[in-house]
């Protein structure tokens, strides 16, 4: 009888331990469920598709005050530039105005962004000729400004179609960086630098 009572008391002592363990496990399980629910896929509404077939990158020296503009024309004659940042399948993702408004407030202090860069993207290609021009919109001095232009074909792998540095030496100086033709299969051919004024075409369209 004593042995039975001893055994019963041991069961009673184990009971609360099991109950506490169960509660702990329940809390852990609940935290896991809450964490899992918080890790949701991003909402697709309003999401910008960054997919591109071609990327045009135009850069000039960091901290340079001059404003260089990028113009890209597609085979149908549409042109993206600072005043028309979307045209057809093209988009001017970044319009940089030199040092103008290149400061932001961080903890109450002004921080300058030294990078001078413009980026245009061709979201999908159409067969025909593309033209990339650069224009010296605002000149603050008389020294030439080295402007680097790079055109990359993104799919199915990154290929540099064109890369060179041009010298723009006065306000209004416009140069054709590159002209290239995209075939029906997406391949690039006839890469050349024959001059054409896209600035004049945009002014004529007004």
Confidence at residue 3, expressed as pLDDT on a 0 to 100 scale: 46
Q: Kindly state the DSSP code that residue 185 receives in the 8-state scheme.
A: T
Specify the pTM: 0.70
Could you read off the pLDDT of 163-186 as tens digits, one per residue? 999 999 999 999 999 999 999 999
Is the pLDDT confidence value at 111 over 90?
A: no
Is the pLDDT confidence value at 4 over 60?
A: no
Domain ranges of the chain: 1-40, 54-204
Distance CA 103, CA 74 (A): 33
- Which of the four CATH numbers 3.40.640, 2.60.60, 3.10.400, 1.10.8 does domain 54-204 have? 2.60.60
Confidence at residue 37, expressed as pLDDT on a 0 to 100 scale: 53
Distance CA 173, CA 139 (A): 10
Are 182 and 127 spatial neighbours (Cβ–Cβ below 8 Å)?
yes
pLDDT higher at 192 or 110:
192
Could you read off the pLDDT of 65-109 as tens digits, one per residue? 999 999 999 999 999 999 999 999 999 987 776 454 555 556 777
Is the pLDDT confidence value at 189 over 80?
A: yes
């Amino acid at each position: 009888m004593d042995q039975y009572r001893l055994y019963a008391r041991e069961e009673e002592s184990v009971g609360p331990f099991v109950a506490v363990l169960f509660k702990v496990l329940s809390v852990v399980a609940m935290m896991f469920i809450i964490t899992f629910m918080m890790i949701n896929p991003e909402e697709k509404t309003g999401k910008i598709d960054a997919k591109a077939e071609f990327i045009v990158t135009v850069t000039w020296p960091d901290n340079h005050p001059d404003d260089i503009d990028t113009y890209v024309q597609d085979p149908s004659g549409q042109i993206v530039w600072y005043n028309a940042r979307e045209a057809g399948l093209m988009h001017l993702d970044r319009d940089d105005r030199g040092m103008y408004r290149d400061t932001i407030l961080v903890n109450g202090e002004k921080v300058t962004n030294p990078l001078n860069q413009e980026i245009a993207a061709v979201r999908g290609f159409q067969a025909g000729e593309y033209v990339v021009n650069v224009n010296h919109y605002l000149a603050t001095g008389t020294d030439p400004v080295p402007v680097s232009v790079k055109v990359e074909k993104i799919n199915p792998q990154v290929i540099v179609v064109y890369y060179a540095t041009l010298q723009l030496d006065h306000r209004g100086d416009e140069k054709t960086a590159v002209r290239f033709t995209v075939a029906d299969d997406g391949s690039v051919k006839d890469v050349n630098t024959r001059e054409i004024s896209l600035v004049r075409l945009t002014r004529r369209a007004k």
